[in-house]
Amino acid sequence: MRLSVIGTGYVGLVAGACFSVMGNDVICVDVDKEKIEKLKKGEIPIYEPGLDKIVKESYERGNLHFTTDIKEALEKTNICFIAVGTPMGEDGSADLRYVLEVAKSIGKYMNKHMYVVDKSTVPVGTADKVRETIQKELDKRGVDLTFDVISNPEFLKEGAAVEDFMRPDRVVIGADNEKAIEVMKELYAPFTRSHERFIAMDIRSAEMTKYAANAMLATKISFMNDIANICERVGADVNKVRVGIGSDSRIGYSFIYPGCGYGGSCFPKDVQALIRTSKEYGYEPKVLEAVEEVNYAQKHVIPKKVVKRFGEDLTGRTFAIWGYAFKPETDDMREASSITIIKDLVERGAKIKAYDPKALDQAKNFYLKDVPNIEYVKRKYDALDDADAMILVTEWKEFRSPDFEEMKLRLKNPIIFDGRNQYNKEKLEKMGFEYYQIGVGA
């Protein structure tokens, strides 16, 4: 099948590359000329395991193409995926300007029946706006072309996006006619052969499914962090509580690990967008508002522990930060807890020595570029030299079993603040460490 993917960000590039692996002819379009040229050279703008390999192989094979010319792409394809960003607006709503700009271009340049697929995360009702925008442009041209607007939300996990796309838990399709559903079923057939994972529904339900899924997962995280904070105050151990409730098959173990808050491109933005949508329809989503409030507060829990141990004035203190990506196996720092933690400490006069396996450039050039008193190092143990304590923020695999004797030798004080509850408290205290984690009472 011949398809175009508009937008070569996280969603668009993964989708385009994976579709091409299955033999489809895919044209990826982006307005960023520099990015397109780099992609043609095999330079991937994001870190995602396995993505560089399949992009390079498909491009060299000739069925994955990159261009800035949307007109040419639309002329050569009859399925068009909209995969541009929907950043969060100041009021918490999803900003649809890029989606609607693409819809406008589709209306300007399409020359045959087109299946227009919303892959971007968009609020309920966006398909209607896309349809209206395309039709308006067709009316201006005075042409009688038909098209379908389809919702196909993505459910990829950063750090496992290629694997998730190739072996999806489910493929959700929202459409208003059987022909559109059949076309999408044919496109996704190579990915859904093992089990019946293709789920068709109406468009608005498909749009809502994406937000509901992310809101549910965010709710589990904030709920467990709430329980952790209660445990800390009543003298319980949240790590044991987690095992106790996770063994219940109705609950399970996924997304009930306590920590220093969730981040990334999806959960914060989607929860806020769903809150905004709810209020626009006259409903107060109290649970979702609580999820957001708990997560905001949770990002300040580690700095509060540091202040309790060292005092409000941290002038002259140095803290080693291990990990600043919002989660392992990605360089994404959007809404990362590390940003809040580092800023809280620096505002109190502290110096930071920071290490992350993949997110160094993102931190230095974007998310922390205006924050003073940060030294970036290229090895995790180098961050510990003369530091007053180590703070674990992101649970990368290389942090799971460190050399604790080496850590004691390098740290000024053998103190660890564990924002992801990765280590054994009893073991570390026997080794002479002061060990602070989340959700464990005295």
As a residue count, the chain comes to 442
List strands edge to edge, sheet with 25-29. Answer: 64-67, 25-29, 2-6, 79-82, 114-118, 147-151, 171-174, 198-201
| Paired tokens of 75 | 């002329």
| Paired tokens of 322 | 């291990």
Query: b vs e for 392-405, b when ≥16 Cβ sit within 10 Å of the residue's Cβ?
Result: bbbbbeebeebebe
| Paired tokens of 361 | 């450039």
Is 266 tagged catalytic? Answer: yes
Gap between the terminal Cα atoms of the chain: 61
| Paired tokens of 79 | 């399925």
Q: Round to whole Å and give the CA distance between 148 and 131.
A: 8
Neighbours of 121 (CB within 10 A): 23
Q: Round to whole Å and give the CA distance between 383 and 394.
A: 15
The catalytic residue among 18, 28, 80, 266 is: 266
DSSP string, 85-106: --PBPTTS-B--HHHHHHHHHH
Contact assessment for residue 98 and residue 85, using Cβ atoms and an 8 Å cutoff: yes
Residue with the two structure tokens 């202040």: 307
| Paired tokens of 278 | 């709810």
Of 25, 36, 34, 18, the C-alpha closest to 2 is: 25
Q: Round to whole Å and give the CA distance between 166 and 15.
A: 10
Q: Round to whole Å and give the CA distance between 9 and 7.
A: 6
Question: Three-class SS of residue 254?
Answer: coil
Radius of gyration of the chain from its Cα atoms, rounded to whole angstroms: 24
Angle at 75 between CA 71 and CA 78, to 5 degrees: 120
Contact assessment for residue 367 and residue 342, using Cβ atoms and an 8 Å cutoff: no
Give the residue numbers annotated as catalytic, written as ranges: 266
